[in-house]
Amino acid sequence: MALIVRWKASPVSSLLVALLCLYNDAGAQRGRGLPPPDLPYLGFNTKTSYFFAERASEPTPITTPGCRPAFFWFYGRHGARYPYEHVINAMQEILPELQEETLLQHARGQGALSPDALMALRRWSMPYGPQDALEHAPVGFTEVMTVGKRYGIRLPEIFRNATSQNILVSVTDTNRAADSGVAFLQGVYGQNHANDFVILRGHEDADLIRWPYWCRNYQIIYNRNPEVLTQRFRFTRSPEMRRLIYRVQRRMGLTRALSFDEMLLMYDVCRFDVAINPFISQPARAWCPLFHREDLEILEYLDDIQRYWKHGYGFPKQFQPSCVLIRNFAEHLRALRNGNSPVRARIMFSHQGEMLKLYAALGLFRDPQPFLATNYRANRNRRFNATKIMPFAANFALLVERCGPGRLNIRAFVNELEVRIPRLDAANGDFFAAFRNEIQNCDLQDFCQNSGLGQN
């Protein structure tokens, strides 16, 4: 059953606005995508802060000579969130022991952490608990609000003087997606006018914006398919990974063997702490000095292997049902062409898995060779790199411009940067020709075997 929510202003809005101002100041001093001085690398895969991701420079209105914006289709990911509950529980149980062990070994003259790093580690304590699991961090709201603000500046003709009839907003049935819908609207319209719009949460089109969650056949055949993790499992036992674990072990000063799971837990707390506190260094990043750039690049590839096989090009059939999103855009495009739709923008907030599947269905970021445990170095310059294409608050947009009678032009953007869709270019900009099969033969019911859509 649909839950229709008309949102109220957040009581922490003043804090979020202050954070946004802080980001703008920091970004102006540091430049977009550049790491803070205390971090050697920010390749944290899907846990990368949007503030450090590759994106457009200062926003200016999007223009094409002889054309005017007519329709905006936006599919976004929520902002920075807290870890899963089982990860938080493991952090609470294991990290204090690793913290004590590392400090003790350094007191004995072992290890390689600097005095500042040791002080930060000594002061560190868990900043969140199981009750926060998967919830939006305050800065996550700010990330998405930033995206909304920037697109409001870039597309004034789309958003100016609009009503809820013109701007359709849908989110998945999660708090972090719902917060993102609010944040985007507050970014575009400000806190007060954002309340004039309706956000549909868990609406019947949940099958559209988060189809894998409702598709039982997908869950059984693909999401639980052990072959999805085969290459990742092999890479965890690769020479690169063994050397990485040993390097971290030596920096800690341990005389025993560090396990892969212990190392991964320290990596997780490092990257979550950076994402949740992008403007605060010590002690928030107390675990990051254990990892150098080479280590972070290897761990970045570890995550990309999993996402390539679970959401990307590894198993083509598993992303084909993303045709429902392609078909949805085509329906809006057809209505616009026929001149019988008041809709100017379709805004949706979902999750990284669904977005990566859409990118694969569109043919974006395809690499010439598969991601294997044995070809890390050959894939170092890969296109399907979640740090670049799927940070927190990642966003994909299609802008339709009207360029005279009967002529529509389509432009695509990933994280505000314009990208080319090869299939669309090959079809000379004709979306219906480029994606004819996805539009005409998209049968999600058949893929899901008519069992699971709209069910828990």
| Residue 170 backbone phi and psi in degrees, to 5 | -130, 145
pLDDT-wise least confident of 31-45, 92-106, 183-197, 270-284: 31-45
Of 379, 242, 260, residue with least CA distance to 312? 379
Q: Is 253 within the bounds of a domain?
A: yes
| pLDDT one-digit tens code per residue, 249-299 | 999 999 999 999 999 999 999 999 999 998 886 666 899 999 999 999 999
Q: Tell me if the bond preceding 283 is cis, omega within 30° of 0.
A: yes
| pLDDT one-digit tens code per residue, 111-162 | 999 999 999 999 999 999 999 999 999 999 999 999 999 999 999 999 999 9
Burial track 383-394 (b if 16+ CB lie within 10 A, e otherwise): ebbbbbbbbbbb
Give CA–CA dist 250/290, Å, rounded: 9
303 vs 208, which has greater pLDDT?
A: 303
Q: What is the pLDDT averaged over residues 6-30?
A: 44
Question: What's the pLDDT band for 8 if we cut at 50, 70, 90?
Answer: very low
Q: Is 30 within the bounds of a domain?
A: no
Task: Work out how many domains the chain is built from and give that number.
Answer: 1
Give CA–CA dist 99/265, Å, rounded: 12
335 vs 11, which has greater pLDDT?
A: 335
Extract the runs of DSSP E, i.e. beta strands, from 183-306.
Answer: 198-201
User: Does the pLDDT at position 398 exceed 50?
Assistant: yes
pTM of the model: 0.92
Q: Is 7 within the bounds of a domain?
A: no
Largest CA distance in the chain: 78
Q: Is 24 within the bounds of a domain?
A: no
| pLDDT one-digit tens code per residue, 332-391 | 999 999 987 899 999 999 999 999 999 999 999 999 999 999 999 999 999 999 999 999
Q: Which two tokens stand for residue 150?
A: 């920037």
**pLDDT for position 227:** 85
The CATH number covering residue 77 comes to: 3.40.50.1240
Q: Is 417 within the bounds of a domain?
A: yes
**pLDDT for position 208:** 85
Residue 40 burial (10 A CB sphere; 0-12, 13-18, 19+) = middle
User: Does the pLDDT at position 225 exceed 70?
Assistant: yes
Domain hosting residue 160, numbered range: 36-449
Question: What's the pLDDT band for 12 if we cut at 50, 70, 90?
Answer: very low
Q: Is 310 within the bounds of a domain?
A: yes
Q: Which two tokens stand for residue 400?
A: 């339709």
| pLDDT one-digit tens code per residue, 417-440 | 999 999 999 999 999 999 999 999
Q: Is 21 within the bounds of a domain?
A: no
User: How confident is the prediction for the chain on average, in pLDDT?
Assistant: 89
Give CA–CA dist 207/217, Å, rounded: 14
**pLDDT for position 220:** 81
User: Does the pLDDT at position 22 exceed 60?
Assistant: no
226 vs 287, which has greater pLDDT?
A: 287
What percent of the chain is predicted at pLDDT more than 90? 74
Question: What's the pLDDT band for 7 if we cut at 50, 70, 90?
Answer: very low
Contact 424, 438 (CB under 8 A): no
Give CA–CA dist 391/349, Å, rounded: 14
**pLDDT for position 42:** 87
User: Does the pLDDT at position 453 exceed 60?
Assistant: no
**pLDDT for position 36:** 62
**pLDDT for position 283:** 63
Contact 256, 104 (CB under 8 A): no
Q: Which two tokens stand for residue 136?
A: 């939006």
User: Does the pLDDT at position 74 exceed 60?
Assistant: yes
| pLDDT one-digit tens code per residue, 29-68 | 333 445 566 678 889 999 999 999 877 777 899 999 999 9
CA 324 to chain centroid: 20
Q: Which two tokens stand for residue 202?
A: 């868990």
Q: Is 10 within the bounds of a domain?
A: no
